[in-house]
Chain A
Amino acid sequence: MDSKFETRSPPIWRTPAFIIGTGGLVLALALGIRHSMGLYLQPVSLTHDWGREIFGFAIALQNLVWGLAQPVTGAIADRLGAGRVIFAGGALYALGLAVMATTADPVMFNVGVGVLIGLGLSGTGFSVVFGVVARHVPTHRRSLAFGIVGACGSFGQFAMLPVGHMLLGAGDWVFAITVLAITMAAMLPLAFVLSGRPASTAMGIGPGWRSSLREAMRHRGFLLLVLGFMVCGFHTMFIPTHLPAYLSDSGLGAREGMIALALIGAFNVVGSYLCGWLGGHFRKKYLLAWIFAIRAVALTAFVLLPVSAVTVYLMAIIMGLTWLGTVPLTSGLVADIFGPRYVGMLFGIAFLGHQIGSFLGAWLGGALFDMTGSYSIMWGLSIALALVAAAVHLPINDRPLGPEPQMARA
């Protein structure tokens, strides 16, 4: 055979394994650093002689900016390539951390932590990374790939908190944040590994983002999927934010709360991978329904049984196993139905729903506690929403809408 017609294997840095590993590293750093922000609330507020409201508002703003920007950054990544978006996101993230470390002005602090890091997260988070991974792995391996990348992100969340704790032990908070900013800046070259556009985009063929968006908005299954993901956000923000206080009210110590949160973090790594793997073997909509049904049973048992260390740890393990397992399944379902080309934008919309759920979970937990003096209504609401989420996944039409587009152009 003529040598010019031979197919050459891609260089190692364009292989699916390398892209999955790089995407996992980006996600682990981005989510991990963000997850450790709670460590800096007290030292930052003390140094600047601020109340806790300024830091709290900056984190709330960060969540809002992250959620609102996610569909847009996802769409840009789908159109122009994930590499550029990850590079810009990482640079904004590092800049935001640098502003956090250097400013003593509350407005600038909110610009840095709230706006810049929020935008940075939208450029380096699930939607963009999953988008590029989806376009580089074969369809039958996509769910497993999402599971591995999701597990890396979960591991980052689990591991970066102790890393931040150690950095604070080695120096002050300015030192810790500076190290994190340098780490994030050092991550920027990884964006080149994740560069490249979908072949159909590069060749100017296939439906545009507007028609894909219209198609998704008319698809009842997509809207149900967003609704289910919103419930996921509700649970994953309400429980970690209010569980320590609930346990304290129930007569358990802060140590049990911390162990419970560590168990959620550790089993989340296992659950994310497992759910991704299962998604490659079973229909994702049924797995999502099972996840929420299991959460409903676990939460019901937790509320009905007398609170003890054992029941808390068991609940934490079950919740951990189902925690972010929804991410590879939801994103995988989006990619299965609509194809991988606009998965960044469409999963970004689902993620916006998740963030709205997160906002409601954190806020309603506090508001209802202040009104009633207990978390009973919130636990009841969490169980009811879990049942609703389990039910809404069942009628989703998960049939692909069109043929799978070509794999990414290197």
Chain B
Amino acid sequence: MNPSLAKKLVLVAVGAGLLGFIMAWVFSIYIDGSMLLRLSTFPGC
């Protein structure tokens, strides 16, 4: 495999893994319930 392509693939995999971990962690805070108590409404975009 082309070394630069392999490097890119590793970078993408690490980035995707890190982003996935952060997303899962943020998601867990959403559904844990305590944040819900603070929110009377959820603002839009």
Contact = CB atoms under 8 A, between A and B. Distances in A.
A162 B40 contact: no
Interface string A152-175: 000001110110011011000000
A38 to B, nearest CB: 5
A258 B31 contact: yes
B15 to A, nearest CB: 12
Interface stretch (A134-142, A236-244, A296-304, A370-378): A236-244
A259 interface: yes
A358 B45 contact: yes
Contact of A259 (B31, B38, B44): B31
A169 B34 CA distance: 10
Contacts of A34: 43
Interface string A244-255: 100000000011
A239 B41 CA distance: 11
Interface string B21-44: 011001101110111101111111
Contacts of B22: 159
Contact of B42 (A42, A159, A241): A241
Contacts of A241: 41-44
Interface stretch (A261-269, A341-349, A385-393): A261-269
Contact of A244 (B23, B29, B42, B45): B42
Contact of B31 (A38, A169, A236, A262): A262
Contacts of B27: 262, 266
A213 to B, nearest CB: 25
A19 interface: no
Contact of B45 (A161, A236, A269): A236
B35 A162 contact: yes
B11 to A, nearest CB: 12
Secondary structure call for the B interface: helix
A324 B45 CA distance: 8
A118 B34 CA distance: 29
B44 A269 contact: no
Question: Interface residue tally of chain B, by bracket?
Answer: 10 to 19
Given A165-B29, A266-B27, A269-B23, A258 B36 contact: yes
A233 B31 CA distance: 26
A39 B38 contact: yes
A38 B30 contact: no
Secondary structure call for the A interface: helix
A236 B22 CA distance: 24
Contacts of A361: 44
Which among A159, A237, A262 has the highest number of chain B CB atoms within 10 Å?
Answer: A262
Contacts of B40: 38, 41-42, 52
Contacts of B31: 255, 258-259, 262
24 contacts: A38-B41, A38-B43, A39-B38, A39-B39, A41-B41, A157-B45, A161-B30, A165-B29, A165-B38, A168-B38, A236-B44, A236-B45, A240-B43, A241-B41, A241-B44, A244-B41, A258-B35, A258-B36, A261-B42, A265-B30, A266-B23, A266-B26, A324-B45, A361-B44
Given A38-B39, A38-B41, A41-B41, 18 more contacts: A31-B45, A37-B43, A38-B40, A38-B43, A39-B38, A39-B39, A42-B40, A159-B26, A162-B30, A166-B29, A168-B38, A236-B45, A237-B44, A239-B44, A241-B41, A258-B33, A324-B45, A362-B44
Interface of A: 31, 34-35, 37-39, 41-42, 52, 59, 157-159, 161-162, 165-166, 168-169, 233, 236-241, 244, 254-255, 258-259, 261-262, 265-266, 269, 323-324, 358, 361-362
Interface of B: 22-23, 26-27, 29-31, 33-36, 38-45
Q: When A and B form their complex, which 7 residue pairs have the shortest distance between CB atoms, in order from nearest?
A: A262-B30, A162-B29, A237-B44, A236-B45, A165-B35, A240-B44, A240-B42
